[in-house]
Structure 1
Amino acid sequence: MAKITEDMTIMDVLRMDREAAAVFMKYGLHCLGCPGATMESIADAGKVHGIDVSKLVEDLNKHFENK
């Protein structure tokens, strides 16, 4: 099973499963195709957008557990 960490990029996660986009969208990360999605870590994106990164990573891992 995949283990999502906050040092991964959004695109790393989406390459593993495009359906994970719904989790990012739930947290207000709508620009999944922007350059930041390929360069910034999940932690960096969370800081920029004021998101609880630990909760986002937890939800992403739950998503992959249910696959």
Structure 2
Amino acid sequence: MSVDEIMRTWPATISVFLKNHMQCVGCPLATFHTAVDAAKEHDMRLSQLLDDLDWAIDEAEDG
């Protein structure tokens, strides 16, 4: 799933990308990059990014 698809499916995840100073919101590469690609591009641990995304999705669904 691309970063763009993640943000469109779960809008609460946008805050995760912004909080981590990732310029994925509005980036043309977001339609091609996966979370793995984004983590590598921004020198972030993949496990941390995925945990943060999961948390944001869970919070939005429980909210």
With the shorter chain as reference, the TM-score category is 0.7 to 0.9
Q: With structure 1 as the length reference, what TM-score do the two structures score?
A: 0.76
CA RMSD in angstroms, aligned pairs only? 1.3
Count of aligned pairs between the two proteins? 60
Percent same amino acid at aligned positions?
32
Q: Relative contact order (C-alpha < 8 Å, sep 6+): which is higher?
A: 1
* Structure 2 portions without partners, runs of 5+: none
TM superposition outliers: structure 1 runs of 4+ over 2 Å: none
* Structure 1 portions without partners, runs of 5+: 1-7
Q: With structure 2 as the length reference, what TM-score do the two structures score?
A: 0.80
Q: Give the structure with the higher percent helix.
A: 2
